Structure 1
Amino acid sequence: MGGSVARRQEGPVSEQPFLRYVALGDSQTEGVGDGGEFTGLRGFADRFAHRLAEHHPSLSYANLAVRGRRTHQIRQEQLAPALALEPDVATVVAGVNDLLRPGFDPEQVAEQVASMWVELRDQGARVLTMTFPDLSLPAPMGPAVLDRVRALNACLRRAARREGVLWAEMEGHQVVGDQRLWCADRLHASGEGHERMAAALAQVLGLPGSDDAWTRPLPGPAPVAPAGWQAVAAEARWAAHFVGPWLVRRVRGRSSGDGRRAKRPFLMPVR
């Protein structure tokens, strides 16, 4: 892993109070993996909003993210409502649903994301984003996905430097391989994973009391991965429960977000 654990644009965090935080994105921003459909989803954006509110008690928060959305859909569906809310803090995290599709172009996806950053920034928002963890998935899809993740991250970094956007560097941390940070589908973060993402954003924004603890190993021994026939059986169950349904949706031209709306489309007090 090269460079620092989190990238931060030069200059102090605004001394003005943050009053309106708006989150744009897909399933990670919506909070899939952190909570449940009946108990409610939380996610890194909710957790980051609570961290912001600790220092800015008047903060209001909206989350426009919808699972399954590709970057161009996020721009089409979420950017105008986000601008209408006039945020002074915004997170835009997108691209995973693009890199899982044929014909993926990392430069094009990064520029679509950057176009959202620019409009929000030019309206006065402090914009934050993050790169994606280099988590290896099982063969044969693992190496191809990993190459795409790294290519997209490189493009996002260049765009963030160019546009003066803050970003949390999620690639290259050994702790990412801990299964406790991930859901059973291996694509969405667990509650602990979302908490670490929120901590990363807090660090790059420079919130008081934030540090790089989110990059350190979890306490206690990590779960032991199955071996032998147990490993084969585990991979088969994973493919049946998660890869199979995903492929069926792709063939049918469907998305996990079809018919869904943002869970928090309006600004509401965090506290």
Structure 2
Amino acid sequence: MPGSTGGSVRFAALGDSLTEGVGDPAVDGEGWRGWAALLAESLSPPEVPVGFRNFAVSGAQTRDVWSSQTPQALAFEPDLVSVVVGVNDTLRCTFDIHRVTARLDRVYGAFAERGALLLTACLPDPGALLGLPGALARPLARRQRAVNTVVHALSERYGAVHLHAADGAWVADRAMWSADRLHPGEAGHRALAVRFHERLRLSGRELGPAPALTAERPPPSRTASLAWLATAGTGWVLRRCTDLLPQLAALAADEVRHGLRGTAGRLDLRAASAASAALASVGAVSGELKGAPAQVH
């Protein structure tokens, strides 16, 4: 995978805390390492140097990736760019799938125009990871499915190497997750790096050996996870979701009403229609979405 600078490879990572590496402490104990750094070490044969910059910031939303991280990464002139973002958007009362879609389309397009290869991923919903009650979890799951639908379609549009990281087995394996239940632990970050490496290999890229899959540190115990949730976890969730809580309560009430009436399917239809309309607005509706009904407000 030769780059634009004398045969080297330049890899830029954009996104939020997942790509920043939260959950996988750096070897020297300073900050985080994470899947992107692990992947960077395996992107080329030993004789080809790799330049790596991680622009991801904890808490980032799609607007931050577009307005701040993208200009910085474009100046780096990368050959390979990972854009993994969207979960924080679903945790805000300002969530708007149209705006998320427009921003991602601009981000993907900016790098594709420069000839960079994109790495993208669909992600599990935060409600499932945190084990929220159904009436609270389902609205968040619906939002994340909408984001994943958009990421799938735009990844196809821009020829991205796309990773399905929202599957049930990944979410259910507690050994993959850190004590906060929302970020991968070392094992999870290594698994992501290995899966991205495999996707790149299947795309025909010349790579170095895959990252090691075996974690050097044991996963957190159930006791440690419960302790985190009872102390730091509560504060973390409140900081991330303060503006969402009133709206989430209303969404949960709506969920219960539709459940009692047997019309819960309308909520799923509404979310799917909104994602389809958002993709249509940027001219990126995939074949399987063209037959979806118009947006329901």
Name the counterpart of 2:24.
34
1:51-110 Cα shifts (integer Å, max 9, x gaps): 114466311111111111111012111111111111111111111111111132234313
Following the alignment from structure 1 to structure 2, what is the Cα–Cα distance between the partners of residues 32 and 26? 9
Name the counterpart of 1:23.
13
CA contact (8 A) 1:160 1:167 kept: yes
Instruction: Name the % identity.
Output: 33
1:198-236 Cα shifts (integer Å, max 9, x gaps): 11211221255889x98xxx9xxx99979xxxxxxx768
Following the alignment from structure 2 to structure 1, what is the Cα–Cα distance between the partners of residues 171 and 208? 23
Name the counterpart of 1:264.
none
RMSD in angstroms over aligned alpha carbons? 3.3
Show structure 1 runs of 4+ deviating over 4 A: 14-18, 207-211, 222-226, 234-237, 248-253
Following the alignment from structure 2 to structure 1, what is the Cα–Cα distance between the partners of residues 59 and 95? 15
CA contact (8 A) 1:114 1:160 kept: no
Select the structure that is richer in helix: 2
Question: Larger Cα Rg: Structure 1 or Structure 2?
Answer: 2
Aligned length: 227
Match of 1:128 among 116, 119, 130: 119
CA contact (8 A) 2:11 2:40 kept: yes
Match of 2:36 among 38, 45, 59: 45
Name the counterpart of 1:88.
79
1:151-178 Cα shifts (integer Å, max 9, x gaps): 2111110111122222111122413311
Indicate how the Cα distance of structure 1 residues 186 and 85 shifts in structure 2: closer, same or farther if over 3 A, else same.
Answer: same
TM norm structure 1: 0.72
CA contact (8 A) 1:89 1:125 kept: yes
CA contact (8 A) 1:181 1:193 kept: yes
Indicate how the Cα distance of structure 1 residues 129 and 143 shifts in structure 2: closer, same or farther if over 3 A, else same.
Answer: same
CA contact (8 A) 1:19 1:56 kept: no
Segments of structure 2 that go 5 or more residues without pairing to the other structure are 245-297
Segments of structure 1 that go 5 or more residues without pairing to the other structure are 1-13, 227-233, 254-271
Indicate how the Cα distance of structure 1 residues 24 and 182 shifts in structure 2: closer, same or farther if over 3 A, else same.
Answer: same
CA contact (8 A) 1:34 1:41 kept: yes
